[in-house]
Chain A
Amino acid sequence: MVAYGWGFVFGGKLIDGDKVTTASPENIQAYRWMASYSKKLGVDAVQRFRSGFGSFASAQNPFLSGQLAMEIQGVWMYNFIKKFADGMPWGAAPFPAPAAHPELRGAANAEADALVIPTGSAHPEEAWAFIKYTQQQEVMEQLCLGQRKHSPLKRVSEEFYAKHPNPYIRLFAELGASPNAWSAPKTGVWNEYGRELTTAADKIGNLTLTPEEALGSVQERIQISYDRDRAIFMRRAR
């Protein structure tokens, strides 16, 4: 999974109000758990293993080529299995919660594509009519069947589940509706934050830095960017 997801599984947050909370105890615990594998298996062995991983949308994807037995993925994975490793036996299950925190069960990344009408759009009325059209149950189910994902709407027909080719589609729908589902923070600095977390995960995984040091330095850097981004946003809003 992407480097930023693990903190959520342990109950951590990346941004809380106007504070960047990368180095929160929950996040540190998550990254300590990641580092435990480098300690157990050896940094060199982990690096060597990872260095052969091909890119995601290819037959060299480590999960599809059989190098990885397990990974956190989403409903989209069905399409990639079908395309690059059709016939591969596979199964899906929710990620377990830490033993001490059973209330964190059902943590999952829930992201959606948003339909928006930009400021200054020439046809806002028509755009709104289109958005309304797409949000009808029947239309949404047709779209989601085509894209092989679950419907984001509350009401879903039994026919949709019966027709869906992904045998685990109900599980993904349940996880999407879980109270512990999370999504990436909606901020202009998110791309930078994501890159910094990937680098921090590298440093922690290579045992170059401790989780406290690595996440502390990410928090410091992103807090500055976050403050700047918010200031720019306020100025533009005026």
Chain B
Amino acid sequence: MSPLERRKLATGLLFTSPWVIGLSVFLIYPLLAALYYSLCDYSVLLPPVFVGLDNYIELFQDKLFWKSLWNTTFFAVGSVGLGVVVALTLAILLNSKVKGLTFYRTVFFLPSLMPLVAGSILWFCMYAGQGGIINTLLAKIGITGPAWLSDPSWAKIAIIFMAVWGAGNSMVIFLAGLQDVPMSLYEASIIDGANWLQRLLHVTIPMVSPVIYFNVVMGIIGGFQAFAQALIMTSATGAPEQSTLFYVLQLYNVGFMDLRMGYASAMAWVLFIIILGLTFMATQLSKRWVTYDR
């Protein structure tokens, strides 16, 4: 290596070092440490003791593991599915030329700026069975609303509705995708006699499918990490009747309440593999239905 090359290498390394150091210290090290601790009995207060695969074996026999996995899957599927439909619908509506467009765009985007904790407290009050604003409004049109957060069959659905309220972020991404669809395609389809619905199904949706794919993947990753909503609105036990005991909430209970950090690390690694698997699956499926025009 010539002196010039060596100097270039040093400069290069220096410039990449913030990222390299950050990645190693804050991502790779914790990941590997968690992998090691998942094979240990580790209470944080005392040094870890190696126990092999015990934590994983216990995990798969733990009914709360399966229960929390089911709750989380239900939430992720519900919030991603409903979230994409609502965000796309809003984006299509807000992509039309109406008066006061920027005002509407701001209004629908605003909720996504609300911090999760503040939003959760707000929705907790709105969901109150007696005197909550939602049930009061429902009563005005003759519907007796459920005891949202105290009824095991409604609590998860209530949290999904709250997640959809914050769809503003994906709405903005959809909006950008929609504005990227070439007008020539619409003009061609109009000449061919396509109506509004046909244009939506055969031009708009295929053209924004990469954006849908992006939002679905981000939604799955976020959905499987649901935590704060349940902790604030329905407590760490995942009340009522563990119907909102999400995976990360159970992980938090085991790790930070019971001080079983080894078991919690095993849960974290299983979650990592689940999310990785789902993302991979979405990528494979996307090859069939995602259209890239360039």
Contact = CB atoms under 8 A, between A and B. Distances in A.
Contacts of B239: 198-199, 202
A16 to B, nearest CB: 22
B41 A51 contact: no
B240 A49 contact: no
B257 interface: yes
Contact of A52 (B49, B131, B240, B258): B131
Contacts of B149: 51
Given A50-B150, A60-B125, A198-B237, 10 more contacts: A47-B240, A49-B129, A51-B147, A52-B132, A54-B125, A195-B236, A195-B253, A203-B241, A206-B152, A208-B241
A188 B241 contact: no
Contacts of A206: 152, 240-241
26 contacts: A44-B147, A47-B129, A47-B147, A48-B129, A49-B130, A50-B150, A51-B129, A51-B130, A51-B150, A54-B125, A191-B257, A191-B258, A192-B257, A198-B237, A198-B239, A199-B239, A199-B241, A202-B152, A202-B237, A202-B241, A206-B240, A206-B241, A208-B152, A208-B241, A221-B63, A232-B41
B49 A235 contact: yes
Contacts of A195: 236-237, 253, 257
Interface in A37-80: 44, 47-52, 54, 60
Contacts of A202: 152, 237, 239-241
B113 interface: no
Interface in A177-220: 188-189, 191-192, 195, 198-199, 202-203, 206, 208
A235 B253 CA distance: 24
A154 interface: no
Interface of B: 41, 46, 49, 63, 125, 127-132, 147-152, 235-242, 253, 257-259
B117 to A, nearest CB: 12
A43 to B, nearest CB: 9
A212 to B, nearest CB: 17
A236 interface: yes
B213 to A, nearest CB: 38
Interface SS of chain B: loop
A50 B130 CA distance: 9
A195 B234 CA distance: 12
Among all A-B residue pairs, the 6 with the closest Cβ atoms? A51-B129, A48-B129, A52-B128, A51-B150, A47-B147, A47-B150
Contact of A48 (B41, B49, B130, B152): B130
A188 B46 contact: no
Contacts of B152: 202, 206, 208
Q: Which of B46, B129, B253 has the most CB of A within 10 A?
A: B129
A44 B130 CA distance: 11
Q: Which of B46, B130, B148, B149 has the most CB of A within 10 A?
A: B130
Contacts of B150: 47-48, 50-51
A203 B240 CA distance: 8
A79 B126 CA distance: 28
Nearest to B51: A232
A51 B127 contact: yes
Contact of A51 (B148, B237, B238, B253): B148
